[in-house]
Amino acid sequence: MSRTDTRTESLTSTGTGGVGESPLRPDGTLKVRGEFAYSSDLWHEDMLWGATLRSPHPYARIRSIDVGPALTVPGVHVVLTHEDVPGENRYGLEHADQPVLAVDVVRYQGEPVAIVAADDPETARRAAARVRVDYEVLEPVTDAEAALADGAPVLHPDHPGGNLVRQVRIRFGDPAPTAPVVVSGEYTVGMQDQAFLGPESGMAVPAEDGGIDLYVATQWLHADQRQVCLALGLAPDKVRLHLAGVGGAFGAREDLSMQVHASLLALRTGKPVKIVYGREESFFGHVHRHPAVLRYEHGATRDGELVYVQAEIILDGGAYASTTAAVTGNAATLGAGPYRVPNVHIDCTGVYTNNPPCGAMRGFGAVQACFAYESQMDKLAEALGISPVEVRVRNALEQGSVMPTGQVVDSAAPVAELLERVRDRPLPPERGGPLDLRELPGGVSNTTHGEGVVRGVGYGVGVKNVGFSEGFDDYSTARVRLEVTAGEPVASVHTAAAEVGQGLVTLQAQIARTELGVARVVILPADTSVGSAGSTSASRQSYVTGGAVRAACEAVREAVLARVPGAAGLAGAAVVSASGEVLADLVEVLGEDVVERTVEWRHRPTEALDPATGRAFAHVQYAFAAHRAVVDVDTELGLVRVVELACAQDVGRAMNPDAVVGQIQGGSVQGLGLAVMEEIQVVDGVVRNASFTDYLIPTVLDTPPMPVEVLEYADPHAPYGLRGVGEPPTLSSTPAIVAAIRAATGRALTRAPVRPEHIVDG
């Protein structure tokens, strides 16, 4: 037998820690010690390594591909092009518009053209570089609005509607409202990267039945499986996916990267094939956050009550659709923000260009809109001469309010309270005492000893949908089993849900413990031998997979209780009566039996948007967070230090309070990154900073204290009353920080991220 290390082992969670507690993560110690097996650690004794040849051009016609020179490199086993794709050479999450390997045209810099399998990664890379591709370079379409103009090159000739991926219209209330106070502005948001630390990687192992076992770091095993099957021309039972250790996701693993490529190489060579992207390649290997241009006009009464919001939002989807349509839907339906607005008119457009493809990233369309509507609320406050918090509170959404889609908000929406809570916190102390460079903008780079430094305070609040929307059949599947092992009742939980770092494995064990009254819970490796769990995205897994695990536990519990007359529940490894009296030891009740139930669980259905007005019960749940940012700005150099970033968020029920705070702080920092440094710079369709040397993400010295207030207003429609947590803090952190910089500098700052130049030049 060859040595294999695909280590998709079970994780065992023991001891106490049910819902509402913060037990240790079962994978935590391994990760902290550096012993956790990530997808890049996959190993098989006779594996080959795959490499990808990518287009250097944002837009070009392929005249010919000559793989000959690559094949002559010693150690190369096979070189494949589009001609070797046995099934559909097309995939995509919403539209199958993306070739597995380019055929006659490349539409973005970095598009895969050929793949190589070789004995080692360097040989594979070098051989890939020797594939000769004859390109006819074309003028790329790089401006989203120009892409919609008449006469613009049509990038996907078989896509109806030219370069328009989707336009969503929201029409609510009076079509021609007027108001005494009007503010308007144009805002832009740059292309943010998810910047996960574990690059795209996985291994495909050919099986004796002609199928494949694919070990991969992904967000949604079954969506990958569906697309891989189509490309390989294999049935789902022949394509088995296993979740390998995921080093962060944030949306960047929703689309396929190396999945089909490794599978093709493995099937062709009959050997396991591993592919690991390098850091630079990773920037080309996944979608990014949509850059956006947002033109807003807000009308209000002199008392500061919103009369209308008009907006035009353009999202650059890049070369392939990915999830652009859903991102467009989010930006539109959430485009007026967490406010009561009687009249709303929004046109939101997602577009094809030759820029890098954009798709899912934490916040998913709601981030871009939030930057614009919150900037507008600050402008309105200024026009009215009231405070930024006051103008927001006067218009704050609440339970029972109506969204611009006509949807009534049917659970808690404590928008005003969230704002008031961050406002009422004591402010961090003014700078003082002996000089400590780490407390100044520029840090130890020693750019100021206080000269030019001005403090500013800013606020932001946002609204995010939880779960998949617009009528999507959003469900998860859980298989729960209860049996006696080594004299102890043990629950095992099997789902296909991707743990990407957020702590779902911990939560599943907590739920099983609470529902089944056992101490020991085994979380089985996620794979496609159980039904789909849906995507680890949209802040949805605690809700949907959490709901499925609870439902499966309930089914198991019912079966066990039926064995004991008078039984009402399971607690402390015993069957108990309604009054809590122990009726029987669970070990004895179970004996040798295995009780197992599999449940497919879905949340309330949502509805598709009315194409003319956007009317619909579109979202199953809304989630809200508010931030107060305090910044010090070196106004002469344009350098910023965020001094404190306070957040208040309603989570419905804090299922795991430590994990909740971790999510809120992590989301806040990702929003901080977008506010002051994170941007993929693209010029003429070419990425200029595909590395962590120049794509900067916050370090610990950029990360301020982040006090968090967690509110728990239960949502009666959701399991345990919980509300999705992961995304809302990413929305409001950015506008709060930019508002604080405006307050310190008096600059208009209509663009995120803010660069020093913007502060210095105005």
Partner 1 sequence: MDFLRPASLAEALAAKAENPAAVPIAGGTDVMVELNFDRRRPPALLDLGRVAELARWGEENGHVRLGATVSYTRIVEELGTVLPGLAMAARTVGSPQIRNRAGVGGNLGSASPAGDAHPPLLAAGAEVELASVRGTRTVPVGEFFLGPKRSALAEDELITAVLVPRAAGPQQFAKVGTRNAMVIAVCSFGLALDTAARSVGTGIGSAGPTPLRAAEAEEFAAAALPWDEPAALDEATAREFGELVAAAARPIDDVRGSAAYRRHALAVLARRTLRWAWQDVSGGR
Binding positions for partner 1, rule: CB under 8 A: 122, 125, 278, 280, 438, 441-449, 451-452, 636-639, 641, 676-677, 681, 688-689, 693-694, 696, 698-702, 755-757, 760-761
When the beta carbons of 258 and 300 are compared against partner 1, the nearer one is 258
CA gap 463, 538 in Å, rounded: 12
Q: Which helix (H) or strand (E) holds 417?
A: helix 415-424
Beta strands in 594-688 (DSSP E): 595-602, 621-634, 639-650, 682-683, 686-687
CA gap 321, 71 in Å, rounded: 34
Q: What is the CA radius of gyration of the chain?
A: 26
When the beta carbons of 2 and 693 are compared against partner 1, the nearer one is 693
* Total residues belonging to the chain: 762
When the beta carbons of 606 and 670 are compared against partner 1, the nearer one is 670
**Cβ-Cβ contacts under 8 Å for 711 (sequence gap 6 or more):** 414, 417, 418, 421, 648, 649, 650, 651
Buried b (16+ CB within 10 A) or exposed e, 502-541: bbbbbbbbbbbbbbbbbbbbbbbbbbbebbbbbbbbbbbb
When the beta carbons of 178 and 445 are compared against partner 1, the nearer one is 445
When the beta carbons of 178 and 691 are compared against partner 1, the nearer one is 691
- The number of beta carbons lying within 10 Å of the beta carbon of residue 69 is 13
When the beta carbons of 441 and 458 are compared against partner 1, the nearer one is 441
Q: How far is the CB of 437 from partner 1 (least distance, A)?
A: 9
CB 257 within 8 A of CB 98: no
When the beta carbons of 63 and 688 are compared against partner 1, the nearer one is 688
Q: How far is the CB of 455 from partner 1 (least distance, A)?
A: 16
CB 550 within 8 A of CB 515: yes
Residue 509 has which token pair?
């064990």
In single-letter form, the type of residue at position 695 comes to Y
When the beta carbons of 182 and 454 are compared against partner 1, the nearer one is 454
In single-letter form, the type of residue at position 90 comes to R
HEC per residue, 463-495? EEEECCCCCCCCEEEEEEEEEEECCEEEEEEEC
Q: How far is the CB of 749 from partner 1 (least distance, A)?
A: 15
Which residue matches tokens 């594996």? 47
When the beta carbons of 194 and 407 are compared against partner 1, the nearer one is 194
Q: Which of 186, 272, 263, 210 is nearest to 232 (CA)?
A: 263
Q: What number of CA atoms fall less than 13 Å from residue 403's CA on the CB side?
A: 30
Q: How far is the CB of 740 from partner 1 (least distance, A)?
A: 16
When the beta carbons of 637 and 710 are compared against partner 1, the nearer one is 637
CA gap 601, 553 in Å, rounded: 12
Strand partners of residue 116? 51, 79
Q: How far is the CB of 57 from partner 1 (least distance, A)?
A: 20
Question: What's 308's DSSP letter?
Answer: E
When the beta carbons of 474 and 678 are compared against partner 1, the nearer one is 678
When the beta carbons of 122 and 558 are compared against partner 1, the nearer one is 122
Q: How far is the CB of 196 from partner 1 (least distance, A)?
A: 18
Q: How far is the CB of 575 from partner 1 (least distance, A)?
A: 55
Q: How far is the CB of 53 from partner 1 (least distance, A)?
A: 13
- The number of beta carbons lying within 10 Å of the beta carbon of residue 414 is 20
Q: How far is the CB of 761 from partner 1 (least distance, A)?
A: 8
CA gap 395, 410 in Å, rounded: 18
CA angle 65, 68, 74 (to 5 degrees): 135
CB 449 within 8 A of CB 442: no
Q: Which of 361, 357, 352, 214 is nearest to 284 (CA)?
A: 357
HEC per residue, 617-640? CCCCEEEEEEEEEEEEEECCCCEE
**Cβ-Cβ contacts under 8 Å for 486 (sequence gap 6 or more):** none
Q: Which of 690, 674, 738 is nearest to 289 (CA)?
A: 674
Q: Which of 509, 499, 505 is nearest to 535 (CA)?
A: 499
Q: How far is the CB of 684 from partner 1 (least distance, A)?
A: 14
Q: How far is the CB of 623 from partner 1 (least distance, A)?
A: 29
When the beta carbons of 682 and 725 are compared against partner 1, the nearer one is 682
Question: DSSP states of 345-364 as a string?
Answer: EEEEEEE--SSPPB---TTT
CA angle 16, 17, 19 (to 5 degrees): 145
When the beta carbons of 150 and 757 are compared against partner 1, the nearer one is 757
Q: How far is the CB of 73 from partner 1 (least distance, A)?
A: 14
Q: How far is the CB of 497 from partner 1 (least distance, A)?
A: 34
When the beta carbons of 382 and 702 are compared against partner 1, the nearer one is 702
When the beta carbons of 689 and 750 are compared against partner 1, the nearer one is 689
Give how far Cα 312 sits from Cα of 78, 166, 288, 325, Å: 49, 13, 21, 16
When the beta carbons of 97 and 632 are compared against partner 1, the nearer one is 632
When the beta carbons of 182 and 637 are compared against partner 1, the nearer one is 637
User: How far separated are the first and last CA of the chain, in Å rounded?
Assistant: 67
CB 493 within 8 A of CB 15: no
